[in-house]
Structure 1
Amino acid sequence: MADDAEGWDLSDGLGEPPVPGLEGPLQEQQESPGPTERPGDDSGSHPRAENVEQPEPDEKEKDGKGYDDLRRVLGQQTVHNNFYASVDASGAAFGFGTAATPGLAPGSVAPSEIDKALRFYLGPQPCFDEAFGKLESEHIVVLTGQDNSGRAAGSFALLRKITGGGAGLRSLSPANSLADLAASRDIKAGQAYVILDYVGETHVDAVQAFGIKRLSEELQGKGSYLVITAAEDTRRRLALRDYCVPWHTPDPLELFHHCTQLPSAPDVPSDLPAELLERVKELRRPADVVAAATGLADGPDVALKALTDSDRELVRNWFHKEPPAGDLLPLAALAFLEGVPERTFEQHSVQLSAHVRDWEQTGELPAAEADGAATTARRGVVFRQTRARWKEQAVGLVRTERRAGPGQDPSRSERRIVFHSPRIRELAIAELHDLYGYELWYPLRQWLSGLSLVDDLDVRAEVARGVALLARHALVEVDENLLRTWAGGITSQRVTTALTLQFMCDDPHLAPQALNVALGWADRKGPERAITSAMALTGRLGSLYRLEALNWLWFLTHRGERMAFAARRSLVLLLQTAEREPDRAVFMLRYVRTRIAGTPRRSTARSHALRATVQLLEAHQLEGTGPLPAALLSGIPDGARHLGSLWTSVLLSVCRRRAVGALCRTLVALRDEPQGADVVCHLGEAMHAEMSPRQWDALRKDLPTALNHPEYAIPGARELAHVLLGSLSN
């Protein structure tokens, strides 16, 4: 294996926790020797652990259908503008690999990102000085407080001040165990570390306290520092109590004046409107205050207009009128079914009304009625909201539009009901959560669970988006009452759960929670939940926490066949979504190369690794039927070296025939590329660097024979095969 793969640190210095009862995703289990890898054997057989129940064929077929659904939704996300949130939202992200918040994705944080985050920074007092003192003495501090209170920027400011800006800053995974991080002894000297929105500790207080003390000593010995941001309830954990500093936002007016007095600030009139300052005083998020200050470049009137949250006022006014159930329930339904065809929306909206009516039979009052008389008046009418009434009662909140579904001909466009803006949907869910109790949410949860069972993928995708928005306000209820049940349910429910965790990553404060939820199902929670975990670790979640996702998916490839099947499909999906992101694709290819290099030949672990590898080589592009390796060879710098190494690894395995077939399909796809010959030449050179004489002789015989197959006997493909073999022979 090439030198860049050998010895590559898969733990990234993060001290990954082992899985309870097993050696965990980062430590290979002691495998018994497997069968000899014979070049002529293409049976696809592989070593299986004893006493592992093999899945029924229909179970794997259903799991495969779930992955087809997941691939379809992730493909739509990648192609349709890559929007993951409303365009004007601070949490919007473009593309799978983009993190809106510096340090959200584990890895090095560039100085330019820190400069941008601290451009308008004003440290709140006295908590900033208190945190600095604790960091100076203990080398570790935990900033606790509400989301959007500036904790992340505060952590960067503290680390920059204490290191003078000369140390590198590295973000660690929020799911790390602090005790295991201390035990790993991978803390680098003179390094600054940050963990944003920490969720990872699972040890009891006594063990945790000992581990954190060791971590503090390790940091002090290396001259390194660690700042953690966490929720307010972290202060109640005895082991962390001595390291916590309650964090709060700076005074809004002080921050506003600080921003306007910076040299880079726009010219500010001496007599700002009093209404503008009053609006600023009401702001609670530092980011909103900074936006108000920078908005003065367009004039005070424009800044004042921007501060007037018309969407919020519109939604609040609508709810404060105490709408009757006939108006409330359709709006609640739309919050979880925005954009589906109108006929589909009406069908499911009626079902929500039926759930509420069934709940009324218990003697409780309806969700939106004031007295029993109103209940009687409503009996016998399931759905009173006509389309005309809808436009009249929800004016300003919703509208109808005509458009076709994804991949449909424009002539098949349908009427669809949507909110006037993405923000209104989020605000409507917030008001539903804040104003209504069990009498609404109990039937609403039943209704959502019913929708998670339907075959319509577009409906389930919108349910997932709505539930992800609800998780911003009721994460515990969403997890306990919906996700935990769906994760162990049928295929459609598991896909809905995985999509919900993907959409939760739109909110940088929910992304660590989504990771924590997904990893909680990866082991000893049953095959269904393990498969749900594997599905969730693709797409946006797998992009943000790429090393952690790869470690756990690789671990699952060594479990029972059904879980291994799902994990391999997830690995393929991760690589498919990385096609347009060279850095992430190369990271994943290097990861697989390193894993193969670390497994002994003729072992069970080697067979698992090669089965996963050949599926990557056989993969198609996320959108279309073209082979993915051809796209990676053409579009990713140094892709030939990594893919050549993977092909070489499987040429003398039980997967050899499949590998040769994948190579033929790649040559066919490259025949029309302008630089196809050069790409194939580089691929051959990469394979030659690692190929043994026995492998070369086998490929020299197999490749021309395979190209005689009608599927591959296409003009140009054989010529590229000669280029490849010529590069190998040289």
Structure 2
Amino acid sequence: MADDAEVPDLSEAPVPGPEDELAQEQQEDSAPADRTDAEGDPPPRAECDEREEDGKGYDDLRRVLGQRVYNNFYGTVDASGAAFGFGAAAAPGLAPGSVGPDEVDRALRFYLPPQPCFHDALSKLRADHLVVLAGPDSTGRGAGAFALLREVRGARTGLRSLSPANSLAELATSSALKAGQAYVILDYVGEMNVDAVQAFEIHRLGEELRRKDSYLVLTAPEATRRRLALQEHCAPWQAPDPLELFHHARQLEPSVDIPPDVLAELLERVADLRRPADVVAAVIGLADSLDAALKTLRDSDKALVRNWFREEPSAGDLLPLAALAFLEGIPERNFEKASILLGIHVRDWEQTGEIPAAEPDATSTTALRGVTFEQTRARWKERATGLVRTERWPGPGQDPSRSERRLVFASPRIRALVIGELHDLYGYELWYPLRQWLSQLSRSADLDVRTEVARGVALYARHALAEVDENLLQVWADGLAAQRVTTALTLQFMCDDEDLAPQALNLALSWADNRGPARAVTTAMALTGTLGSLYRLEALNWLWFLTNRGERMASAARRSLVLLLQTAEQEPERALFTLRYVRTRIAETAQRSKARSLALRTTVQLLEAERLEGPGTLAATLLRGTPGSARHLGLLWVSVLLSVCRRGAVRALCQTLAALRDDPSAADAVRALGKAMRDGMTPRQWQALGNDLPNALRHPDYAIPGTRQLAQVLLGSLRS
């Protein structure tokens, strides 16, 4: 179920609508959407309870995703260098799809090939048409891949990014690879199948690339060099020398006069940088402000955090700071309770001192003796001078008069730096009880608490992904609904880090098949929001696959598909892509087949979906503000109108017309919708709709001035 190498052209896919079915399909299955299982038998009571819990989980997920989509910020926000919204500002090639020559040019503007690894990789690529750049994260592997492909394919070369979960063995045997193309897989995470990729299959992939005169560059962690199947294709990778890159980039920027003593400090601090992106940022910063560039290089936040930890804080000082790293911004009264709870977990660990069998070789680098539970608010500024401040703001949707004191870090970076220091300095005496505490919070009824836990765990995953996966996410993914929502949110927040986004996808997909229904539901939840936006075709493929599984998994997958479309309300291209995908899937099913029945059931839920935030149906919003949506929505409506889902389709159509009734410009959108429906229906079929729609509009919910007029516009366009 990996992404295809190339997104198929879905725009012209036909939607079948046989004329002879209308008379037989007037009856609709009007039972609740999730009442029966795939075979039509009533589900057991336990399964009903599970689906009810899943539904509560999706309600929580909608609340968080709604806040992220509409960017409701409270209090002071430092958004320097940030971009908000799903799928925004992703690095070139991170999301599967085409990367144009201009994007490649921008990515390589300051590029300096590190030697000798660039030359070695280029030799392998020319010889085998396939190379794996294996090295540490944030060392410029992605830019190196672009530069290598441009070297072999020529200047102004565009390329195509493939999904990091793609199977290399399947690529060799599919029609995904085209002739004369340049391909890249950034942050390759390995095969999804249990069996390892065999060396001869990789060899066959190389032969296929040579035959088509195409090239493929993968970037991967250093551990990939130990995989036997890829060993001969790996080229060790490292970052360029920071001082050489600094001088190279300065030559490409306007000249800036720098006093000798300041230049000496600049070079000293640049020499300590390990990320090429930080070196380039320093050069760009010089053009704006020398003082600002120096401040960035001095990294006052990092120095402040390190100095605080060097003083070896007592447990009474350390534990509230550790708690805040995972619970920033919640009301102070709730934070204090949670902080005390963490102290209890640590005290219990001290009293037993046992090393869990599941976590061998547990050692502690810094002792945590003498846990106290003092919560005197007046001492907080003394405990964390410069790191933490107190603010007042209301919760989402609350009246300003209900604002509460909340503890937040002095800058957004401090939270990540604190978690990094906790990981580097403390062992199991802190992290074992801390993980127990996080697991307890993951079951909390307070969604804000669980959301902040997810943010903190996503930051922790930057330092200890294996521990997060094994000790937290795998357990939570099979746990209670609250824990599964926390897991899904953690994967969403991991996508804020370019190096973690492919790992988040890999974790989500690893639970999708043969890992139990609860984990499959967690996968469905995770494939919404940022993760589903970034890897949209992969997400749609897997969610569609899950709609054909057991009813609990299918119900969750349908909800996730609706959420994916809801979060795309302000992204026209992604919304249209989703609608085209559903149309194509319906067209692929046989008439009166189980697959078609399931596909139409999913379509009805999409057409009936409300907006994530605000009144009205999502279809009405798309018709009003997304050019081209009328055609896709119209043909989807035709599909369900000519099926046993007819009643649901008419109901969704009434709801959409009612949502558009107050918009003076809605008549044009409705007229376009009717034209698209007319193209997919026969005169006999739209005549039947002309009888059903006015009858349905007599319902009190729709009998509102303006709705019937829009219905006449729709029916008039059908008769044209």
Matched, 1:63 2:50: no
Which of 388, 392, 401 pairs up with 2:382? 392
**Equivalent residue number for residue 547 of structure 2:** 557
Contact 2:2 2:166 in 1 (8 A): no
**Equivalent residue number for residue 229 of structure 1:** 219
Which of 533, 543, 546 pairs up with 2:536? 546
Contact 1:687 1:728 in 2 (8 A): yes
The 1:160/1:370 distance shift into structure 2, 3 A limit, reads: closer
Match of 1:361, SS state, is helix
Separation in 1 of the partners of 2:635 and 2:73? 32
1:618-664 residue CA offsets vs partner (Å, 9 max, x unmatched): 00001023110000001111110000000000012222111111111
Match of 1:273, SS state, is helix
Shift of 1:338: 0.3
**Equivalent residue number for residue 23 of structure 1:** none
Separation in 2 of the partners of 1:135 and 1:244? 10
Which of 303, 307, 324 pairs up with 2:293? 303
Within a 5 Å distance, the mapping from 1:471-486 to structure 2 comes to: 471-486=461-476
**Equivalent residue number for residue 6 of structure 1:** none
Shift of 1:211: 1.4
Matched, 1:80 2:71: yes
Match of 2:349, SS state, is helix
Contact 1:53 1:560 in 2 (8 A): no
One-letter amino acid of the structure 1 residue matched with residue 531 of structure 2? L
Q: Out of 301-310 and 496-505, give the one that drifted further.
A: 301-310
**Equivalent residue number for residue 429 of structure 1:** 419
Q: Out of 195-204 and 516-525, give the one that drifted further.
A: 195-204
Separation in 1 of the partners of 2:574 and 2:403? 37
Matched, 1:453 2:443: yes
One-letter amino acid of the structure 1 residue matched with residue 693 of structure 2? L
Q: Out of 559-568 and 385-394, give the one that drifted further.
A: 385-394
Shift of 1:509: 0.6
Separation in 1 of the partners of 2:433 and 2:660? 55
Shift of 1:131: 0.6
The 1:404/1:86 distance shift into structure 2, 3 A limit, reads: closer
**Equivalent residue number for residue 210 of structure 2:** 220
Separation in 1 of the partners of 2:24 and 2:222? 55
One-letter amino acid of the structure 2 residue matched with residue 265 of structure 1? P
**Equivalent residue number for residue 585 of structure 1:** 575
Within a 5 Å distance, the mapping from 1:333-344 to structure 2 comes to: 333-344=323-334
Shift of 1:52: 10
Shift of 1:274: 1.0
**Aligned residues with identical type, % of pairs:** 68
**Equivalent residue number for residue 12 of structure 2:** none
**Equivalent residue number for residue 19 of structure 1:** none
**Equivalent residue number for residue 656 of structure 1:** 646
Which of 349, 371, 375 pairs up with 1:359? 349
1:404-425 residue CA offsets vs partner (Å, 9 max, x unmatched): 0001110000000000011000
Shift of 1:56: 3.0
Shift of 1:168: 3.3
Match of 1:190, SS state, is coil
Matched, 1:620 2:610: yes
Which of 677, 685, 701 pairs up with 1:687? 677
Separation in 2 of the partners of 1:171 and 1:49? 40
Separation in 2 of the partners of 1:677 and 1:51? 44
Shift of 1:208: 2.4
Match of 1:416, SS state, is strand
* TM score, norm. by length of structure 1: 0.91
Shift of 1:207: 4.5
Matched, 1:267 2:259: no
One-letter amino acid of the structure 2 residue matched with residue 608 of structure 1? L
The 1:202/1:660 distance shift into structure 2, 3 A limit, reads: closer
**Equivalent residue number for residue 22 of structure 1:** none
Shift of 1:79: 1.1
The 1:617/1:50 distance shift into structure 2, 3 A limit, reads: closer
Matched, 1:170 2:160: yes
1:657-677 residue CA offsets vs partner (Å, 9 max, x unmatched): 111111111111111112111
Alignment gaps of 5+ in structure 1: 1-8, 17-33
Shift of 1:300: 4.0
One-letter amino acid of the structure 2 residue matched with residue 197 of structure 1? D
Separation in 2 of the partners of 1:247 and 1:386? 51
Q: Out of 178-187 and 503-512, give the one that drifted further.
A: 178-187
Separation in 2 of the partners of 1:654 and 1:640? 23
Matched, 1:195 2:195: no
**Equivalent residue number for residue 13 of structure 1:** 5
Within a 5 Å distance, the mapping from 1:373-412 to structure 2 comes to: 375=369, 378=370, 381=372, 383-412=373-402
**Equivalent residue number for residue 18 of structure 2:** none
The 1:87/1:599 distance shift into structure 2, 3 A limit, reads: farther
Which of 35, 38, 41 pairs up with 2:25? 38
Q: Out of 195-204 and 182-191, give the one that drifted further.
A: 195-204
Separation in 1 of the partners of 2:289 and 2:628? 50
**Equivalent residue number for residue 497 of structure 1:** 487
Q: Out of 444-453 and 197-206, give the one that drifted further.
A: 197-206
Shift of 1:191: 0.7
Alignment gaps of 5+ in structure 2: 9-20, 356-361
Shift of 1:210: 1.5
Contact 2:165 2:192 in 1 (8 A): no
Separation in 2 of the partners of 1:569 and 1:258? 51
Aligned CA-pair RMSD:
2.6
Contact 2:37 2:43 in 1 (8 A): no
**Equivalent residue number for residue 16 of structure 2:** none
Matched, 1:183 2:183: no
1:424-446 residue CA offsets vs partner (Å, 9 max, x unmatched): 00000000001000111110011
One-letter amino acid of the structure 2 residue matched with residue 536 of structure 1? A
Match of 2:352, SS state, is coil
The 1:181/1:433 distance shift into structure 2, 3 A limit, reads: same
**Equivalent residue number for residue 420 of structure 1:** 410
Contact 2:71 2:84 in 1 (8 A): no
Separation in 1 of the partners of 2:630 and 2:7? 32
Contact 1:93 1:100 in 2 (8 A): no
1:147-184 residue CA offsets vs partner (Å, 9 max, x unmatched): 11000011111111111135430000000110111111
Shift of 1:473: 0.3
Separation in 2 of the partners of 1:99 and 1:570? 23
Match of 1:396, SS state, is coil
**Equivalent residue number for residue 103 of structure 1:** 93
Q: Out of 274-283 and 495-504, give the one that drifted further.
A: 274-283
Shift of 1:384: 1.5
Separation in 1 of the partners of 2:366 and 2:276? 39
One-letter amino acid of the structure 2 residue matched with residue 41 of structure 1? E
Which of 140, 154, 159 pairs up with 1:150? 140
Shift of 1:393: 1.3
Which of 706, 709, 714 pairs up with 2:696? 706
Shift of 1:296: 2.0
One-letter amino acid of the structure 2 residue matched with residue 408 of structure 1? Q
Separation in 1 of the partners of 2:184 and 2:545? 27
Shift of 1:260: 1.2
* TM score, norm. by length of structure 2: 0.93
The 1:49/1:237 distance shift into structure 2, 3 A limit, reads: farther
1:288-337 residue CA offsets vs partner (Å, 9 max, x unmatched): 11111222224544422221100000000111111000000000000000
Which of 637, 640, 654 pairs up with 1:647? 637
Match of 2:218, SS state, is strand
The 1:367/1:350 distance shift into structure 2, 3 A limit, reads: farther
One-letter amino acid of the structure 2 residue matched with residue 266 of structure 1? S
